[in-house]
Structures are given as C-alpha cells and as structure tokens.
Amino acid sequence: MQELTHFLNGQQNKGTSGRFADVFNPATGEVQSQCPMASVDETTKAIEDAAAAQVAWGATNPQKRARVMMAMVGLMNRDMDKLAETLSREHGKTIPDAKGDLQRGLEVIEYCIGAPQMLKGEFTDSAGPGIDMYSMKQALGVVASIMPFNFPAMMPLWHVGPALACGNAVVLKPSERDPSVPLMLAELFVEAGLPAGVFQVVNGDKEAVDTLLDSEIIQGVSFVGSTPIAQYIYSRATANGKRAQCFGGAKNHLIVMPDADMDQAADALIGAGFGAAGERCMAISVAVPVGEETADRLVEKLVPRIERLRVAPYTDGDDVDYGPVVTREAKERIMGLIQSGVDQGAELVVDNREFSLQGYENGFFVGPHLFDRVTPDMDIYKTEIFGPVLSCVRAGSYEEAIGLAMDHEYGNGTAIYTRDGDTARDFASRINIGMVGINVPIPVPLAYHTFGGWKKSMFGDLNQHGPDSFKFYTRTKTVTARWPSGIKEGGEFNFKAMD
C-alpha cells in the first residue's frame, strides 16, 4: 500500500499524525494509497515555514517570479502524459479530460508570466508643489488555498499561480480524494526555481482547514467546493479578519429556443451534461426547451446520443466518454437523487439505474440518465447532483425559461441556444448569473478574463484568475512624497522653507 506525503520546505514529508484517508481507484473500488491527515501542529509548522520563506520571495522582483512561471509551463508540458495518467488513476477521468484539466490550469500559469505588467502601480507627477504620488501593489504574505476533488490540477493552479506570481507564499490543502497531482505540481514548481517553503502542500481534513482559517499568519483564503462549506469557510475566514473568495455549488441551465439548431443543442448538452461524469461546477444539468414542440424535438435528439455514450475506465482508450465518479459515497448520493426524481413524478426517459460494467462491478460507475417533465419543486432540480444526470424542464415561453434560471438559488453559469441576436442580447443583459454562454454550452472564460458565479455560487468580492486574481492576492499601498527643493543654505537644511 503506497503511503502519500505532504510537500513541505521543498521536499516530500511523511505525515506524523498517524491519521490517514483512503485514496481509491474509482474504476475498481480498491484502495490504492493512503493520504496523511495533518495535525494542528503539522499545519501550523507548515504555515510558519511558509511565512519565513515568503520574506525573500516577496522581495524578489516580479520579472524573476515570472521566469519561474515560464519554466513551470515548460515542465508541465514535458510531464503532461505522466500528470494526466496519475490524475485519471485517482479521479477516474478519461485521459483527454485529465489533459483538459491540466491545460486549463496551465493557461493560468501562462497568464501569470505577465505578472510584471499586472503588478505595476500608478504614478502622479506634481500632485502638489514638489509632491509626487504613487501606488504599490504588495503581496498579502501567506495565503491558503483549499481545493476540491473534481479538478485536482486546474483548481490549484488557478489559485496558486497568481498568488505566487504576486509574491505570496501558499499553503495548499488539496482534496484528500486525489492528492497526488498537487504534490507533483509542487515538485515541478521547485524544479522551476521556486524557493523551498514558498509553496507548501498539506493534506488533511477539517482539522487542517480550521487551523488555516484560524491562523493569524494566513492573510487570505481561497476555496472551491460545495455551497455549505463555502459559506462556512467564508464566514470563519472573514470573522478572523482574512480576505476570502469562496466558490460554491451550481445548477446550470441551458435554454433551447424554438429557432435553435437542434442537433447542435443536443450535442452541446451531451458534452456539457455528461462529460467528466457530470462532476463539474460548470456542467449543464438542466435543459430548458421553450415550447412543447421544441421539447419533443430535443428529447428525440438526446435519447439516441445518450444511449451511445461509452462509460468505462480511462484505461479503455480515448473513445471512452466518461469514467466512474470519485467515491462510493458519491455514487450512492447520485443514485438516491435519481430515485427521488422517479418518486416525485419526473419521467425517466433514459434509465440506467441497473448499469454495471463487466469486470468492474465494484467500481463507482453511474450510467447516464435523462429525466423529462421535471418541475422546480423536485429535488433533482433544486439540488446539485454532480453526476451524469440531465433534467429537462419544459417552459411555455422565453420569459418562463429565463425566470427558471434567475429564480434558482445558484448563479454560476448558464447558456442559451438560439439563432436570434435580439434574444441572445436580452438574455446576456438580464440574466443574474455570473457566466453566460450564447451557443456555447460551458461558458468558462479564458485565463485573461475572470471566472466566478453569482448568488449562492460565490462568496466574496473578487473572482478567480484574470485581473481579479492579482487584485485579490495583493494590497495597494499609496505613497505621497515631497522632496524639498532649493532650501539648502550653508550646508544645512532650512526647514522653514518646507512650511
């Protein structure tokens, strides 16, 4: 049985708490390694060592920090296959999905190469007689990142990259379900030239998380996960005087107008609803066709596409559409919600409750499901399922369709499929959701824009990556400077001349 480590002060460190979490192979259900759970003392020591290392790193000029990011890009590309295989083995994603996870994280590291430009301050010459005024963007100090299981490469890189580029030290608490890739990324950062101790990886559970939240050294906290935990972390972090950005759950709607290209919309829903087994905060889990005829046409297009989906381990090749979900508990939760949909009266059009994969009967596989005639009072509509389940909610009009998305408590992402520009513009303007797709099913912004939802999908004032990340990980200091002129007489300053 492999025993994983923490990554502290530039090297792997065995845990000393004596507590471990099992890391499963989702395809077989077998335990493949054990992840150490850090104690309060271990976590505190990691924070203190990060603070000591941050002093020199924060004083390093932005151009040199950017060179570390540049080297990191090359190293990640060099090791892409190895990273992807490790990610797939622990998470269950297909290799193409794993490489997509890595690529979207890599794009943020590429963006961070521009740190010197992003960290420039402002300057005003002669704001007053002999007075100059300028601002500086300085690192917070030590920050914490508490990351989810569903994107074990992308999410840490989205937060760690900008934080490091700004001159902070980072203590990362990855998910204990798939911690190996974050540990590998930490090693690559050191190989890229990052000083030891500036990036610490502490595996753990609530004990480690609460230590991070309560530490007087930690100045900022970023989190991605479920809404209840996001609310908890945001409340505790801000109560302790920390800056916090916490991203929670989602229930993303895709509205299909009668004039939409129905084949294009159906293909989009297959990829957005079932890719990565639906374990994405930007997954489309609700299709909203406008009008009965539109709904009938859409369902007719969806059914054969869903039935053709190939569910298998990542080792079965690149033609696998998706693999298992991450744990047995996740599978049981998803199956419970599917049954609730049946019990509450939704029409289960594609039913794979008895799905089983020969040779992998103990794996955490969930077959694809399609519900029709779902209503907003049902649990499968209200709850983020985080699995391969697509719900069809029929709307009688555009106004009813847009109202469904606007009234839901989550506001992460949404999309509309239409050929009508006026409808698309109205949708983009009115919708109270953070990320909008127009004929784009998963509207994830590129690295030089920002990513973030509204309502109960996000707690805090600044989004992930893009310009917001450099704002979040720095503080602005404004200096007003006055230099006396022409007041030196006989080798001494005439201080009256300064009055």
pLDDT at 334 over 50: yes
499: confidence class by pLDDT, cuts 50, 70, 90:
very low
Distance CA 232, CA 323 (A): 31
- 3-state helix, strand and coil shares in percent for the chain, rounded to the nearest 5: 40, 25, 35
494 pLDDT higher than 90? no
Strands 410-411 and 454-455: antiparallel
Q: What band does 429 get if pLDDT is binned at 50, 70 and 90? A: very high
Say if residue 479's pLDDT is above 70: yes
Q: What pLDDT does residue 128 have?
A: 86
What is this structure's pTM? 0.94
Residue 498's pLDDT band (cuts 50, 70, 90): very low
> Mean pLDDT across the stretch 292-308?
98
Q: What is the pLDDT of residues 20-34, one digit of tens each?
A: 999 999 999 999 999
Q: How far apart are CA 74 and CA 87, in angstroms?
A: 19
Q: How far apart are the first and last CA of the chain?
A: 76
Active site residues: 281
With cut-offs at 50, 70 and 90, classify the pLDDT of residue 217: very high
Checking if the pLDDT of 307 tops 50, the result is yes
Strands 435-438 and 474-482, bridge-based pairing: unpaired
In this predicted structure, what is the pLDDT of residue 486?
Answer: 57
- State yes or no: pLDDT of 351 exceeds 90: yes
Q: Phi and psi of 124, rounded to 5°?
A: -120, 115
pLDDT at 490: 52
pLDDT, residue 317, reads 87
- Please give the domain boundaries of the chain with CATH numbers for all domains: 2-248+457-479 (3.40.605.10), 252-438 (3.40.309.10)
CB 329 within 8 A of CB 285: no
Q: Give pLDDT tens digits for 61-70.
A: 999 999 999 9
User: What is the rounded average pLDDT of the residues 264-293?
Assistant: 96
Query: Average pLDDT over the chain, rounded to whole?
Result: 95
